Amino acid sequence: MSKLLIRALDVHDMLQLEGAIDLLESAFADPERYSRARITRELLVDDPPFYRQFFIAIKQGRTVGVGGVKAADWATKTHLLYLSAVAPDMRGQGIARALLAARVEWLIKRFGSGRVLVSTSRTKRFRELGFVEISGSKMEGRTLMRLHFRKKRQRSEKP
């Protein structure tokens, strides 16, 4: 059994970029809303002071999962999980959970505190990491969930 590798997407690596675009385009299969051009723009945008960071899951040299996180430009210390997908033949192997955990870990390390929002039809994996449903947010089979996070202080850190 080959090991799953999760890492930040290197948009300068054309194999990684094309693999991520292909996976997202096929996963969403909605050319009106998620065209290849739009997905490519989302992956390549660099718009300081706001950020977007994508992570990929690689197994046997193949991109089998993608997940993004970006700043919510309308609220401070608020981050959004979005454009997440796992290749259909690789589902049920914990790849989505691993991508989710990697993104949350990255946020905690980078920002220290804040909140994360996600709209999902798969609430269990989010609850496992501490996300809670936002009351009254269920719509069209999806639930809005949030996670408040704060980096744990090291013993040597002063309050």
Measuring CA to CA, how many Å separate 33 from each of 8, 28, 37, 134? 25, 9, 10, 25
* Residue (of 130, 108, 106) closest to 118 by Cα position: 130
Q: What is the mean pLDDT of the chain?
A: 90
pLDDT(153) > 90: no
Q: Tokens 């969403």 correspond to what residue?
A: 28
Q: Tokens 């723009």 correspond to what residue?
A: 41
Q: Of residues 138 and 107, which shows the higher confidence score? A: 107
Question: Sign (positive/negative) of CA torsion 50, 78, 101, 70?
Answer: negative
pLDDT(158) > 70: no
Q: What is the pLDDT of residue 152?
A: 78
- Cβ contacts of 54 within 8 Å, gap of 6 or more: 8, 9, 11, 20, 43, 66, 67, 68, 69, 83
pLDDT(117) > 80: yes
pLDDT band at 155 (very low <50, low <70, confident <90, very high): low
The predicted-structure confidence for 120-135, as pLDDT tens digits, reads as follows 998 998 999 999 999 8
For residues 53 and 91, give the distance between their C-alpha atoms in angstroms, rounded to a whole number.
Answer: 22
For residues 17 and 21, give the distance between their C-alpha atoms in angstroms, rounded to a whole number.
Answer: 6
The dihedrals phi and psi of 40, each to the nearest 5 degrees, come to -60, -45
pLDDT band at 139 (very low <50, low <70, confident <90, very high): confident
Radius of gyration of the chain (CA): 16
pLDDT band at 47 (very low <50, low <70, confident <90, very high): low
Across 95-111, b (16+ Cβ under 10 Å) vs e yields bbbbbbebbbebbbeeb
3-state SS assignment for residue 143: strand
The predicted-structure confidence for 92-102, as pLDDT tens digits, reads as follows 999 999 999 99
The predicted-structure confidence for 70-116, as pLDDT tens digits, reads as follows 999 888 899 999 999 999 999 999 999 999 999 999 999 999 999 99
Residues 42-49: what's their mean pLDDT? Answer: 76
pLDDT(24) > 80: yes
pLDDT(157) > 60: no
